[in-house]
Amino acid sequence: MKHPIHITISMLAFCAFILNACYKEKNPNEDNFEIVGRVPQVSELTPSTTTPTAGSTIELTVKLSYVKTTVKELKFYQRIGTSGAYSFLKTEPFTPNFVPAERVHVVKYPYNVPNEPNKSFSLQVEAVTTDGLVSVRRTMTPPNVTIRP
């Protein structure tokens, strides 16, 4: 009688071992960004302050990822006010700065705040590759920042 119990326990342990070996580990990057072809993905655009003074210079942080391509530049677009179209602001060369802890490139650029007190501004950025492929534009977070006098 004891012999069939040992066989049953051994079979259960073997099944548990086999099922554990088939476990597929989750890719930690799935939630951070989506890779589509060779087009870079901008995951974040944030200002160094959300209460800038008119005419001051702040720092913009851009986070992006890319695979099997090279990013040559970032294009920035600006909108004054809370509605309307964005207009081209400037092009900045891209220098890779991969941060292993975040698994993305983190780059910083200066931005001259418009000298328009009590108005708000918003920015967008897109990445351009050496092949001419362009990412989707990422809007700044928060989307609108009010300029202090």
> Which residue reads 């079979």 in tokens?
11
Mean pLDDT of the chain, nearest integer? 86
- 14 pLDDT higher than 90: no
Q: Which residues of 104-124 are buried (b: 16+ CB within 10 A; e: fewer)?
A: bbebebebebeeeeeebbbbb
Tokens representing 78 are 């600006």
Burial 57-83 (b: 16+ CB within 10 A, else e): ebebebbbbbeeeebeebbbbbbeeee
Residue type, 78: Q
CA distances from 115 to 54, 72, 129, 146, 149 (A): 4, 30, 32, 12, 8
Q: What is the pLDDT at residue 8?
A: 74
pLDDT for residue 140 is more than 70: yes
Q: Is pTM beyond 0.85 here?
A: no
Choices 3.20.20.70, 1.10.10.10, 1.10.3720.10, 2.60.40.10: CATH for 41-146: 2.60.40.10
Per-residue pLDDT of 89-122, as tens digits, reads 999 999 999 999 888 999 999 999 999 999 999 9
Structural domain boundaries in the chain: 41-146
Give the side-chain half-sphere CA count within 13 A for 72: 7
